[in-house]
Amino acid sequence: MNQIKTISKNDLNNFINKLIQDKNYEVVGVKSKDKRYVFDQLENASELRLDHDVTIIPPKKYFLPQYETLMKYDLEKQFEVKPNMEIKPRIIIGIHPYDVIALEQMDKVYLDSQTDDFYKKRREVTIIIASDIQNVSECSFAASMNTNTTDKGFDLLLTNIETKYAITIGSEKGKRLLEKYAKTEDAKEVDIKKIDEVRKKTLRKYKKKVILPKEEWSSVLVANYDSGIWEERSDRCIECSSCTMVCPTCYCYDVKDEVSLNLKTGNRIRTWDGCLLKDFTKVGSGEVFREEIKDRYRHRFFRKGNYLHERYGFVACVGCGRCSIACLPDIADPSDVINSLSHHKKSDDTSKFFIKQETKIAETNIIHMPRKATIKRIEKLTDAEKLFEIELDDKKPLGGKPGQFVEVSIFGVGEAPFGLASPPSDSPSFEIAVRKVGNVTSKLHKMSVGDKIGIRGPFGNGFDVKAMEGKNLMLTAGGIGMYPMRSLINYVLDKKNRKKFKQIIILYGAKRPKEILFTNEIEEWKKCDDTVCKLTVDRCEQGECWQGDIGLITTLFPKIRVDKLDSKNTIAVVVGPPVMYKFVIKSLQTMGIPDENIFVSLERRMKCGVGKCGHCQINGVYVCKEGPVFNYKEIKNLPEAFE
């Protein structure tokens, strides 16, 4: 049981003023602003409001700021970058229990095995003086979420018990602060009784309620994935993303580079991002993976009620009601949605949209902080594509498997993910092949041998080459899918490894003859024992020299001796543009290759690479952690995988 003290209202003011005078801390608290409430810096205890219903923005802004400099770099030096760890100790006063619980949820995401050091440091140097709810927001349903009170997650908790305040001590840090600055008395039995009475009184003030217990949100959502409710309600959505911005349990973010006006220095910054925005899933090729608003609208509720619930065990809604206040067309409130669905069917299979096979990430450096590397060799592949050999400056091998990817940083421009194009080796060098599509890729194409870049990774799971041993391999690549496939092909055809695999069939499709990559290597592959390599192009313009097949990649399938292939003993790997998968997989199934023998590598927008920023999600799955390589049998039932 927590130790409880009491303090007179006057002494509470004195305590807070003493905290404000202690220049070791920035003291922030709840203040009123235009009839509403905000967390802001306190100049005097008299500004503090502990009778607030809800603040406009939750205190998450102090742990994951809306705009944050992650690192600073000097563009005049080849590679000088420093993480921005100047984080000032802070005391936050007036956080309500639902926001305390939201922070505890955020801890699970940001302090997991791949810790976000920026968030961690802020958590460590922040003292939380929470306060029990006195007035309830019209839109809050915290009571029915059991988030209206809490007995942990704070350093101190204030409860207004009429003539004085009760202070529940939640940590040693809180206790020390009280001892240093406050005049308190031990709480008597009557005071403790009053805390209970005050909480019960507040409970009666709730007007909103969610009918379904939060443990059941997941099953009702899963059963109603295809319900008309998503389209019906999202029809009115103006795509402003206010609902995610004001939510204490929404923490997706974007990372961008900003350069000073004199072009000499710059910052890599992190900003809040929202899954309701169309660009959230947009990739360089222009593809948007949740194109329709109904899908983005549904994603927000599924992330809260199902995806994070399956992964971390909590419903990512604490019933604060902020989204409901912020949403002009009044469609954002989870209690409304869940109440409408509560009498609908429920599903027993709540993990249907989720697979958890996280890759252990080898990186131990600060999240988002790249390692310094040098471009060693550049080879032009086509007009829009180049191969880069990159060496890590610490001379340590990158490690990694075919199918994994790295995040490449060019300070002043940004960061982008690229698959490993070379097979694993013990050398510090590796290769990536890059198609010029936007800012980072265009800048890379302008760089020269000797230039410095940043590398994070390798990330993702890669191909399970061990499981491929003793099997025939059918490797199908379309367009730039050949980049990661080249890594796998060169691994399996390597003299050291070739005997481990049976027949190898390589099928490769490009749009035009001039877009065929690695032509010299393809000739070598064709010469390998028991290896078939077939190429096709979608079209051939007049004047282009091409004697090979013309047609989509699926036209190659009838040309291989399927009758001779032991399909049950064949592993198929497919990498290519999104549109290719459905048709190729159908052809593989027609050949009798079982779904569990088919592997695909999927592309999605990526920012963090470590399961935090939320961009790469396919339903409940993080492509950066559980992919990009997936077993088709496991992923085929995820509605967002091949749409």
Residues that bind ligand FES (CB under 6 A): 606-609, 611-616, 622, 624
**Among positive and negative, which fits the CA dihedral 152, 158, 160, 166?**
positive
Q: Rounded to whole angstroms, what are the CA distances from 385 to 346, 371, 476, 554? A: 50, 24, 20, 24
Give 122 or 615: the residue with its C-beta nearer to ligand FAD: 615
Number of neighbouring beta carbons within 10 Å of residue 188: 11
Q: Is 288 left (phi over 0), alpha (psi -120 to 50) or beta?
A: beta
* 248 makes contact with ligand SF4 (CB under 6 A): yes
Token pair of 508 as six digits: 């490769």
Give 331 or 421: the residue with its C-beta nearer to ligand SF4: 331
Applying CB under 6 A, the residues found at the interface with ligand FAD are 283-284, 405, 414-419, 432-435, 437-441, 480, 483, 603-607, 628
For strand 265-272 and strand 452-459, is the pairing parallel, antiparallel, or unpaired?
A: unpaired
Binding mask 438-477 for ligand SF4 (x = CB under 6 A): ----------------------------------------
Residue 237 interface partner, choices ligand FES, ligand SF4, ligand FAD, none, CB cut-off 5-8 Å depending on type: ligand SF4
Q: What are phi and psi of 348, to 5 degrees?
A: -85, -20
- Residue 460: CB minimum distance to ligand FAD, A: 6
Give 47 or 287: the residue with its C-beta nearer to ligand FAD: 287
* Omega before residue 65 within 30° of 0, cis: no
Task: Quote the CA–CA distance of 304 and 309 in Å, as a whole number.
Answer: 7
Contact segment (CB under 6 A) with ligand SF4 among 188-196, 322-330, 578-586, 603-611 equals 322-330
Give 52 or 607: the residue with its C-beta nearer to ligand FAD: 607
Contact segment (CB under 6 A) with ligand SF4 among 125-133, 321-329, 497-505, 586-594 equals 321-329
- Residue 330: CB minimum distance to ligand SF4, A: 8
Cβ partners under 8 Å of residue 602, min gap 6:
578, 618, 623, 627, 628, 630, 635, 641
Give 398 or 613: the residue with its C-beta nearer to ligand FES: 613
Q: What are phi and psi of 580, to 5 degrees?
A: -75, -30
- Residue 627: CB minimum distance to ligand FES, A: 9
Task: Quote the CA–CA distance of 601 and 642 in Å, as a whole number.
Answer: 11
- HEC assignment per residue over 541-561: CCCCCCCCEECCHHHHHHHCC
Under 8 Å between Cβ of 448 and 479: no
Under 8 Å between Cβ of 256 and 268: yes
* 241 makes contact with ligand SF4 (CB under 6 A): yes
Residue 239 interface partner, choices ligand FES, ligand FAD, ligand SF4, none, CB cut-off 5-8 Å depending on type: ligand SF4
Amino acid at 548: G
Q: Is 636 left (phi over 0), alpha (psi -120 to 50) or beta?
A: alpha
Please give the angle made by the CA atoms of 621, 322 and 298, to the nearest 5 degrees: 35
Residue 575 interface partner, choices ligand FES, ligand FAD, ligand SF4, none, CB cut-off 5-8 Å depending on type: none
- Residue 311: CB minimum distance to ligand FES, A: 11
Amino acid at 458: P
Residue 334 interface partner, choices ligand SF4, ligand FES, ligand FAD, none, CB cut-off 5-8 Å depending on type: ligand SF4
* 276 makes contact with ligand SF4 (CB under 6 A): yes
Give kind and range of the element (H or E) at residue 439: helix 439-446
Determine the 3-state secondary structure of 324 from DSSP.
helix
* 12 makes contact with ligand SF4 (CB under 6 A): no
Alpha helices in 303-371 (DSSP H): 308-312, 322-326, 334-341
Residue 483 interface partner, choices ligand SF4, ligand FAD, ligand FES, none, CB cut-off 5-8 Å depending on type: ligand FAD
Binding mask 198-237 for ligand SF4 (x = CB under 6 A): ---------------------------------------x
Cβ partners under 8 Å of residue 520, min gap 6:
none
Q: In this chain, which of 243, 504, 571, 623 binds ligand SF4, going by CB under 6 A? A: 243
Residue 283 interface partner, choices ligand SF4, ligand FAD, ligand FES, none, CB cut-off 5-8 Å depending on type: ligand FAD
Task: Quote the CA–CA distance of 119 and 123 in Å, as a whole number.
Answer: 6
* Omega before residue 628 within 30° of 0, cis: yes
- Residue 136: CB minimum distance to ligand FES, A: 35
* 59 makes contact with ligand SF4 (CB under 6 A): no
Under 8 Å between Cβ of 428 and 396: yes
Determine the 3-state secondary structure of 110 from DSSP.
helix
Determine the 3-state secondary structure of 151 from DSSP.
coil
Residue 628 interface partner, choices ligand SF4, ligand FES, ligand FAD, none, CB cut-off 5-8 Å depending on type: ligand FAD
Compute how many residues bind ligand SF4; rule: CB under 6 A. 27
Residue 437 interface partner, choices ligand FAD, ligand FES, ligand SF4, none, CB cut-off 5-8 Å depending on type: ligand FAD
Binding mask 328-367 for ligand SF4 (x = CB under 6 A): xx-xx-x---------------------------------
Determine the 3-state secondary structure of 290 from DSSP.
coil
- Residue 140: CB minimum distance to ligand SF4, A: 7
- Residue 55: CB minimum distance to ligand SF4, A: 11
* 150 makes contact with ligand SF4 (CB under 6 A): no
Token pair of 43 as six digits: 């100049």
Q: In whole angstroms, what separates CA 533 from the centre of its chain?
A: 38
Task: Quote the CA–CA distance of 514 and 215 in Å, as a whole number.
Answer: 56
Determine the 3-state secondary structure of 174 from DSSP.
helix
- Residue 399: CB minimum distance to ligand FAD, A: 17
Residue 611 interface partner, choices ligand FAD, ligand FES, ligand SF4, none, CB cut-off 5-8 Å depending on type: ligand FES
The interaxial angle of helices 117-124 and 97-110, nearest 10 deg, is 140
Q: In this chain, which of 130, 318, 510, 585 binds ligand SF4, going by CB under 6 A? A: 318
Give 16 or 608: the residue with its C-beta nearer to ligand FES: 608
Give 92 or 198: the residue with its C-beta nearer to ligand SF4: 92
- Residue 462: CB minimum distance to ligand FAD, A: 11
Contacting residues toward ligand SF4, per CB under 6 A: 237-243, 246-249, 276, 304, 317-323, 326-329, 331-332, 334
